[in-house]
């Protein structure tokens, strides 16, 4: 577990954007992952929102340089399933002790979702210090994350939800933000059109913006 945490942290420090991917056709998974890696994004989250998600995760694990995770986990049984499919981390929109326990039992790194101070306290009590802030824009965005930094100086966030390239720099400028998750780097219309060059270009743009803020 410690090894994959270190790998993820190092990857996110180089390219702190996590594409949130909704894949309708597993045949699109490998070229999509290759396009994102070519653009500098290596930590990829495949959401469990389509029937193709599990097959997509399994296929993407073959892409050199990609670290594949699963998102939108809401039931404990899903953690073992995504781990068996090859996912190296799991993300949920919310937090519960049951989900945390299931992640530990499956031996997979877990990024739980929070939106309030109470949820941060609950996740922190279970040993989680890297949290997903979701839905970021609807839950208060940059001002909310800035406010949470005061009482929770040891918590690092990955805001996700409603974020576009236009808000990226503001989020990345926050000291308690390590990474930002978003679907804008791989929109479904470009995926369906199989416009991999456009997706690579969007990935590079995001990497460049994040680098300009953090460096």
82-122, pLDDT tens digit by residue?
999 999 999 999 999 999 999 999 999 999 999 999 999 99
Q: pTM of the prediction?
A: 0.96
Please state, in angstroms and rounded to a whole number, the distance separating the CA atoms of residues 23 and 206. Answer: 20
Q: Is 28 considered catalytic here? A: no
Q: What are phi and psi of 188, to 5 degrees?
A: -60, -30
Q: Which of 3-7, 73-77, 180-184 comes out lowest in average pLDDT? A: 3-7
pLDDT, position 5? 85
Going by C-alpha positions, the residue among 85, 105, 121 that lies closest to residue 1 is: 105
Q: Is the pLDDT of residue 26 over 80?
A: yes
At residue 2, does pLDDT exceed 90?
Answer: no
Alpha-carbon gap, residue 39 to 198, rounded angstroms: 10
Nearest to 37 by CA among 14, 68, 66: 66
Structural domain total, the chain: 1
Catalytic, 170? Answer: no
The single residue of 9, 13, 45, 170 carrying the catalytic annotation is 45
> What is the domain range of residue 102?
2-214
Instruction: Residue 171: give its domain's CATH number.
Output: 3.20.20.70
Q: How confident is the model at residue 201 (pLDDT cuts 50, 70, 90)?
A: very high
- Catalytic residue, from 132, 170, 205, 214: name it: 132
Q: Which residues of 104-127 are buried (b: 16+ CB within 10 A; e: fewer)?
A: eebebbbbbbbbeeebbebbeebe
């Amino acid at each position: 577990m410690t090894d994959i945490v270190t790998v993820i942290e190092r990857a996110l420090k180089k390219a702190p954007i996590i594409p949130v991917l909704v894949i309708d056709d597993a045949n699109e998974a490998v070229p999509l992952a290759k396009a994102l890696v070519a653009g500098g994004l290596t930590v990829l989250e495949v959401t469990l929102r389509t029937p193709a998600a599990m097959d997509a995760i399994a296929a993407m694990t073959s892409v050199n340089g990609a670290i594949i995770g699963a998102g939108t986990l809401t039931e404990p049984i899903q953690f073992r399933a995504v781990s068996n499919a090859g996912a190296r981390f799991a993300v949920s929109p919310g937090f519960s002790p049951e989900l945390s326990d299931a992640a530990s039992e499956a031996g997979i790194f877990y990024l739980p979702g929070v939106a309030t101070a109470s949820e941060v306290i609950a996740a922190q009590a279970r040993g989680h210090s890297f949290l997903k802030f979701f839905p970021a824009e609807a839950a208060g965005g940059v001002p909310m994350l800035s406010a949470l930094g005061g009482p929770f100086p040891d918590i690092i966030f990955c805001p996700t939800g409603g974020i576009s390239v236009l808000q990226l720099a503001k989020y990345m400028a926050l000291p308690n933000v390590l990474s930002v998750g978003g679907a804008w780097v791989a929109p479904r219309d470009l995926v369906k059109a199989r416009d991999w060059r456009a997706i690579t270009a969007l990935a590079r743009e995001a990497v460049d913006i994040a680098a300009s803020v953090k460096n």
